[in-house]
Amino acid sequence: MIYNYGSINIDYIYHVPYFVRPGETQRCDGHSVGLGGKGANQSLSIACANGLVSHWGRVSSKDAWAVEELKRAGVNVCDIELTQQPSGHAVVQIDEQGENSIILFPGVNHGAEKERLAFLLSKVKSGDTLLVQNECDGLGYIIPLAVSHGCNVIFNPAPMTADVSELPLDQCKLLFFNRTEAASLLEMPIESSASDLLRKLRNKLGSAEIVLTLGSEGAWYLYNSETYFQAALPVRAIDTTAAGDTFVGYFLAARQAGAEPFECLKRATAAAALAVQYRGAASSIPKAEEVDRLMRQEGM
């Protein structure tokens, strides 16, 4: 089982010609409200890929519809806590190239008590997987505690913050980075080559498995001397908001089903290629049948 201690956000999405500049007021071309948050997106992606996932998170009781949406997708929601405090939310600008700019308010994604986290971890079995991102707090507590329970911890340090380097990253089994996150952690230029980033990540993280996603430049998997590369599929991006979360979820669902790393890379790449062609976060995550169809078409 994959247990995902992750954020649940309400996304307020605005489609704009370009990102608003300081002092500027700009009319948007479209607006929508929907389920988001890196945690919720990754749980949805795992479920859409036919994986087994249980979500641990918190959301305002006023936004209980978000929990129902996760449940309908096949996510186990029994351990999602409804609170009286405001939910996390994000204000998302999406420009004409499909790139996004996000303001994030954590809300009740922050503030989980240690006793609650310890209770949740009491349910896991040795060999289970704990997935975490960086939109919930308490990571410095839950990562080593999960390892002590025999969990394989998988970490996607997004959004990247300075305190990520203080976390016990060496206790993680697998870490997902994009170019910006890797360069930030390593204090390297954003334009650094993939080979340099991978080499420095291996030096820093020791025996952990590493996945490095580079958007249109493809994705890499590294573990000891084992290295795989998967080229990106040539598509026109409309909205990249949940592409990374889609990649993570499909990779982990394929891994859970027993696929080899290079097969996980292929499936995750195909899923992300579909996700960027649709608007929205949770609403852009493709179903397994769509990914199967694309992979057949592309001979993957």
129: Cβ–Cβ under 8 A, 6 or more apart, which residues?
1, 2, 3, 151, 152, 153, 154, 173, 252, 256
Quote the pLDDT of residue 154: 98
pLDDT at 89 over 80: yes
The length of the chain is 300
Q: Rg of the chain over CA atoms, in angstroms?
A: 18
Query: Does 245 qualify as catalytic in the annotation?
Result: yes
Least confident of 174-188, 216-230, 278-292: 278-292
Q: Are 42 and 176 in contact (CB under 8 A)?
A: no
Residue 98: is its pLDDT beyond 90? no
Mean pLDDT across 228-242: 88
Mean pLDDT value of segment 105-127: 94
Question: For the segment 23-34, what is each residue's pLDDT rounded down to a tens digit?
Answer: 999 888 788 888
| Options 29, 170, 245, 292, the catalytic residue | 245
Q: Please tell me the predicted confidence (pLDDT) of residue 130.
A: 98
Q: In CATH, what number does 2-8+36-86+109-298 get?
A: 3.40.1190.20
Determine the pLDDT at residue 142.
97
* Residue 53: CB atoms within 10 Å: 27
Say what the pLDDT of residue 175 is. Answer: 98
Domain locations in the chain as residue ranges = 2-8+36-86+109-298
Tokens of 165: 């380097």
The pTM assigned to this predicted structure is: 0.93
| pLDDT at site 282 | 81
According to DSSP, the β-strands at 2-5 and 53-60 are parallel
pLDDT band at 281 (very low <50, low <70, confident <90, very high): confident
